[in-house]
Amino acid sequence: MRVKPVVKSIGQHTRMMQTQTSQKSGASPDAPRKMLAGCVVLLGEPEEANVGVIRAHLRGQGVAEVRWRRSVDGVAKAIEDGGVDLALVDLSLPGGDPLDLIRRLRHGVLAADPFLPLIVTTRTPDDKVILAALDVGADDVLLKPVGANDLAKRIRRIGASRKPFVAAADYVGPIRAGMEDLYGPEDLIDPPNPLGGPQSRYSPDAVQKLEDARRRMASARLAACAREAGESIQARLLTAQTWQDDGSLTAIATKLAAISTSSPFASLAPIVARLAALVEFSRQDSQDARRAGKLAVEIAEMLVLAVTAHSDRVLDLPMEIVERVDARFPELGFITPRPR
């Protein structure tokens, strides 16, 4: 018997969280110090002149170690190496796109923990810039110059009660304003929150919570991408006239291919990889492409049903699906032709 959620809407859930946050943040001015006691903060900052000021702010709040990196590649490597409890990433970092770095982190491509608390810093007080950072899954945005009080307030907000995460085909991150009608309470993912000292990151409960959250996020994103693939191809198959792909199917195939290499559901990886290949192949204007599209729709529907029904368990679909795709479409390249 399934227990009915007490929270009836995301709006109600968010208001409850805000109330709890305000109560906690008002309880003690030393809250950020307690949250960050013993924590490691990754500082992605291109200007050395700013490092000393921000490091002093963080040290004043109890941070044990500040790891400074001055490029996108440096930040990415530090995140991959692990052991970080909070990241501050500036949008002017050279050597790549900081927004893409955050997107890869949230989508589980960059590191084992896609829920790392992350605050973006920028000197550009532009709504488009701020929205762009939030659109890739940042927890918050902080305008420069960074003040001690502002930094403490943002950390307190995240540490006291992080927003729940949602996972869609194109977005993974904290729930945002305007998403209330798109997701129900059962879709919300409670993210791990390491801002309670290093023990909160390494405790058995924290490790298990991270694994559970990763699986839920992977399930939700896989279901969203598979549903998007099935609906997009079905719309094309129902169109009588020749349908010119605008690049959307390639984008869907790329997302599925990424999921097949990063999903914690190893048993599904071969099936998801073949779905990605079928989606890409179905872009062609041929009978074989239409057959590939029909098979892709069938596999996508099976994945959505399986993931939705078993989001908290190990998923296992019959490997006959893989054999069927390989036998029918050897040109996809999953099988090596036998030498004559």
The percentage of residues in the chain with a pLDDT greater than 70, rounded to a whole number, is 82
Distance CA(66)–CA(60), nearest Å, equals 12
At 20, is the pLDDT very low, low, confident or very high (cuts 50, 70, 90)? very low
CA 324, chain centre distance (Å): 32
* Predicted TM-score (pTM) of this structure: 0.80
Phi, psi of 73 (to 5 degrees): -60, -40
Residues 103, 219 contacting (CB under 8 angstroms): no
Whether 3 has a pLDDT exceeding 50, the answer reads no
Complete domains list, the chain, with CATH:
10-202 (3.40.50.2300), 225-332 (no CATH)
18-22, 61-65, 125-129 — which is least confidently predicted? 18-22
Phi, psi of 257 (to 5 degrees): -60, -40
Distance CA(89)–CA(139), nearest Å, equals 11
- In the chain, helix, strand, coil percent, each to 5? 55, 10, 35
Residue 319 vs residue 264, higher pLDDT = 319
Mean pLDDT of all residues belonging to the chain: 83
What counts of helices (H) and strands (E) characterise the chain? 13, 7
The pLDDT, as a whole number, for residue 81 is: 94
Residue 20 vs residue 157, higher pLDDT = 157
The pLDDT, as a whole number, for residue 219 is: 87
The pLDDT, as a whole number, for residue 199 is: 53
Residue 307 vs residue 116, higher pLDDT = 116
Whether 175 has a pLDDT exceeding 60, the answer reads yes
**Residue 5: strand, helix, or coil:** coil
Q: What is the DSSP annotation of 99-144? A: HHHHHHHHTTSS-S-TT--EEEEES---HHHHHHHHHTT-SEEEES
Burial class of residue 235 (count of CB atoms within 10 Å of its CB; 0-12, 13-18, 19+): exposed
5-19, 73-87, 325-339 — which is least confidently predicted? 5-19
Helices (H), the chain: 10-27, 31-36, 48-60, 72-81, 98-106, 127-135, 148-160, 199-202, 204-237, 248-262, 269-281, 287-309, 320-328
Distance CA(314)–CA(9), nearest Å, equals 29
At 6, is the pLDDT very low, low, confident or very high (cuts 50, 70, 90)? very low
Partners of 143 in the β-ladder:
122
The pLDDT, as a whole number, for residue 17 is: 40
**Tokens standing for residue 20:** 């709890």
pLDDT tens by residue, 92-101: 999 999 999 9
Residue 18 vs residue 62, higher pLDDT = 62
The pLDDT, as a whole number, for residue 236 is: 84
Residue 222 vs residue 262, higher pLDDT = 222
Residues 237, 271 contacting (CB under 8 angstroms): no
pLDDT tens by residue, 38-87: 889 999 999 999 999 999 999 988 899 999 999 999 999 999 999 999 99
Specify the amino acid at residue 40: V
Count of positions (residues) in the chain: 340
Distance CA(291)–CA(289), nearest Å, equals 5
129-138, 191-200, 266-275 — which is least confidently predicted? 191-200
Distance CA(107)–CA(71), nearest Å, equals 21
**Tokens standing for residue 140:** 């918050």
Residues 38, 197 contacting (CB under 8 angstroms): yes
Measured CA distances, 39 to 150, 172, 207, 236, 334 (Å):
19, 25, 16, 51, 45
Return the closest-CA partner of residue 229 out of 192, 196, 257.
Answer: 257
Q: What is the 3 state secondary structure string of 51-81?
A: HHHHHHHHHHCCCCEEEEECCHHHHHHHHHH
Whether 125 has a pLDDT exceeding 60, the answer reads yes
Q: If you ran DSSP here, which 8-state letter would residue 187 be given?
A: G
pLDDT tens by residue, 230-280: 999 998 888 755 556 668 889 999 999 888 887 677 778 899 999 999 999
**Tokens standing for residue 275:** 């779905």
The pLDDT, as a whole number, for residue 14 is: 39
| CA trace torsion 228, 234, 235, 240 (10° rounding) | 160
Specify the amino acid at residue 209: K
